[in-house]
Structure 1
Amino acid sequence: MRGSAILAGVVVLIWTLVYLITQLFVDPPLGVLPTLAAGTLLTVAAVLGYPSALRGPRGRHRSGGSTGHAGHGEDGDAGSGVRSLAAAGRSVPLRSGLTPDAARRTAELLRPMLGGDAIAITDRRDVLAFVGPGSDHHRVGRALQTQATARAIRKGRTIVVRDRSHLGCTAEDCPLQSAVVAPLAIGTRVVGALGVFQARTQIPPKELVEDMANMLSLHLELAELDRERRLATHARLDALRAQINPHFLFNVLNTIASKARTDPEEARELLLRLSDFFRYAVRQDGHFAEFAQEYFFVRTYLSLEQARFGDRLRVRYDIDPQVLTTRVPVLTIQPLVENAVKHGIAGQVSGGTVRLRARVDPLTRTTSIRVSDDGAGIPEDVLARLTAFPAAPPEDGTGEESTAENGTRMRSGGVGLQNISQRLDSLFGDRYDLRISSPPGGGTVVDLRLPLR
């Protein structure tokens, strides 16, 4: 409410100044219409320019807002490198840890994306992978060959080298001239480094290298969390079980690869958004989070999808501000939105619109969330299979089961919906309602009603 009070104070100040200037300081005073026009224009400008609380957290790793639009395509080696990641399926590079094999696959992927002549990934002492000129002496398994890499690991910050004399390579005939070396860290512990080298004095883009190092560090955190899974709490396990769709990851990385050469700044922004996406999915403690956090997570996901689909994917939000402080089960809304994009919009040539609506009903003490799209819809036979056993009787007391047109109570079905319904069963028993319908005019509507917390 502090932000609203500040905005209200600004509006009052604007009208006070307009009155003083137009009625007291000007001789003769301006008429009523010019005075109202001036005050209205200034008020509208202040309201539109004021940062909305619904845009999500701000800061360096911000991914909020709507989205940039990027085409979905491949760019030479970049596309093939990302395809190799998709072929790996769930074995994301470095997800298995900082191993030579994972480091090699990651270096091969990053070389075209970062535009460096050579890419190196190391642990604190040895070279784990090296791709490009200089691989004859920067050999895997050997000790670090450049002083710049050792400095980045020791100091825990990015080192920029603009000429060969500061590179500190032990080989006199090394063709590398400049570099950006960023540390890889798990939490505050530096475990290795990512080096991007050039055979010329022009340095690689520093911010892009740093952001990619942050992304790889998140993968390493995922690997460590996997190793500690048996010791984690049940709530942490729930967050880890929400696996990121490998096809979604492939498509986002493909978009980043296509943008890395044509628009490095947009590629950097997409990397930040993807980092925020993974960070939220992994670092959730407990079963519940504020709706504002889930909302930010959904907006981050949709901004990544909009970068891929461009104008084909349109998004509309209708969020009651009272919902922002309520608590909802973590990682529940985003899978519903992902279903709308993947099954409703992606296959449509003309695209479509995904809508997210949320309301609080203080009388029934419930939070109502609706995810809808105007896409392909769901055939009746498929919709019927989404219910594993008879639906609950409708609220009108007729005793008839719900149909595809009036809504079906979801208890299980597709993997995503089944996981959601099972989690909601364990958390709320029969005090929640999850329904899916496919109106005759097309599209799909998912309604979720939860007890207010």
Structure 2
Amino acid sequence: MRGGSALLAGVLVAAWAAVYLITQVLVAPPLGVLPTLASGLVVSTVVVLGYPSALRGPRGGPLGGSAARARSWPPARRPRDPRGMRDGLTIAAAGRSMPLRNGLTPDAARRTAQLIRPLLGGDAIAITDTEQVLAFVGPGSDHHHVGGTLQTRVSRLALGKKRTVVVHARDGIGCPEPGCPLRTAVVAPLAVADRVVGTLKVYRVHDEPAPRVLVDDMASMLSLHLELAEMDRERHLASDAKLDALRAQINPHFLFNILNTIASKSRTDPDESRQLLLRLSDFFRYAVRQDGHFAEFSQEYFFVRTYVSLEQARFGDRLRVRYDLDPQVLTSRVPVLVIQPLVENAIKHGIADSVTGGTVHLRARVDPLTRTTSIRVSDDGAGMAPEVLDRLLAGKRPGTAGPQHSGVGLWNISQRLDSLFGDRYSFDVASTPGKGTTVDLQIPLR
């Protein structure tokens, strides 16, 4: 039993003993049972409510008394948010929504400086890159202009040494403005990997600088957010490059074959030839001009139908396509140029070389419980041996070391999905020689 609880139990025992002594021994005649119990309960309630035991906790905090006061450092400048949260929780809460997560821009720097100013106990906060002031909040903002070049000597010192610099006197700051109210400073570098990209500066108007460890911790947190922003930017650039590559690799043989089909039909069926030209125009317009990485499923579905109609002009009755779509899936957003390459692969590897042709199935569902969109493209064509499938997924032509459009397409799709969803998707390909191929894709619902 803890010491506080044992002491409380002893006090309660003594209180009941006193109640018994008064009501049963000192009073004549003795009180009845009910008055005695009522008196004991009143005394016990007063003791429990008035005693800061383990049952209710110390009045000064979890440690109570001097222990609680010893942890409150510094007492006069303990930063709190408007709800009175403790320092660690406040910084953690701020860290989850740090504006610099979007990159080192003037707007993000300004909002970050306003957010962290009460946390660091500084009178003024500045955030810079390696050349100019991106944000300045607090005294001195009249001459430490946002967008201006770095004026203080301490900033250049922190950038040059790539470590935190603490200044205890106004002269050490090196501000050229004679009336600058700033007297002390702690300047910590902001880094992405091994590269210093800016500084976090905490100024005070009196002779005690802000705690260095607190500024270092905040600078490390900001640097982490900048690294994450850099990774996001690189991931988006990589996704853009993969999407451009997928657009550029539209099989030229498909184009030549369709043009030959149109040329032959121009003599026998001019109206159909004209319709095919319009569909071909729609096909390439969508492939080239689609903005962003996501589109509504209905748009991708139209793109697939356009492609299939062009291929059916070539293969005729040998190519059959069946669609099984959940109406809810039409408004969901899916990565662009993903479904059509899967259908193209099914036609090219499953149906094109078959004398009797075959059927391609496109199935799509939305699961509101798991919030996922599931897409399946399957065919009943020739299928592939495991080693051939492995080479296609690796982006190489079966039997050679060179790339092949369809193989690169599957590999590219997989890489794009990695960039867009991380580990929150599944992409499975199964194929059996003589029975066909099935591709299952499951992505988060958007």
Superposition TM-score, scaled by structure 2 size:
0.43
Superposition TM-score, scaled by structure 1 size:
0.42
Comparing both structures, which one devotes a greater share of its residues to helix?
Answer: 2
Q: Which has the larger radius of gyration?
A: 2
Relative contact order higher in (CA < 8 Å, ≥ 6 apart): 1
